[in-house]
Amino acid sequence: MSYLFKNRNLLILILILAAILRLAFLPKLMVFTPDEEYQLYLANTIVKNFHIIWIGVSTLGFDFYMGPLWIYIIYPFVALFKGDPIVLGYISSVLGVFTTLLIYFLGKKMFNIKVGIIASLIYATSALIIYYDQQPYPAGVPFLSLLITLSLYMTKYSSKWWLLFAVSYGMIFHVHLSLFLTILVAIYWGYIQRESLSKKVFLLSVLTFLLVISPLIAFDYFHKGSNITAPIRILQNSKIHTQNFNLSNRLNDLLQPFGRMWLLDPHKNNADEILNPCMVNQISTTTKANWFVSITALLLFIFFLINKDTWRNENTRLLILLSLAFLLPFIFLPVIRPIEYYLLGFFPLFFLIIASLIKFIPMNLRNVIYIVLVFFAVHGVYTVMVAKGDYGLATKKKLIVEIMQKINNQSFNLQEEGDCHKYGGWRYLFSIYGRIPVKSSEDQTFGWLYPEELSTMPAHYSVIIKESRAPININHGYNFKLNEGGFSAYIFQN
Q: 117-163, pLDDT tens digit by residue?
A: 999 999 999 999 999 999 998 889 999 999 999 999 999 999 999 99
Q: Is residue 60 exposed (0-12), middle (13-18) or buried (19+ Cβ within 10 Å)? A: middle
pLDDT at residue 233, rounded to an integer: 66
Residues 301-308 have a mean pLDDT of 96
**pLDDT of 239-290, one tens digit each?**
555 666 778 888 888 999 999 999 999 999 999 999 766 777 777 889 999 9
- With 80 as the cut, is the pLDDT of residue 375 above it? yes
CA dihedral 110, 113, 116, 120 (to 10 degrees): 170
Contact 336, 346 (CB under 8 A): no
Mean pLDDT of the chain: 91
Taking the complete model, does pTM exceed 0.75, yes or no? yes
Beta-bridged to residue 72, according to DSSP, are none
pLDDT at residue 250, rounded to an integer: 85
Confidence of residue 59 (pLDDT cuts 50, 70, 90): confident
Positive or negative CA dihedral for 384, 266, 370, 303? Answer: positive
- With 80 as the cut, is the pLDDT of residue 14 above it? yes
Contact 78, 87 (CB under 8 A): yes
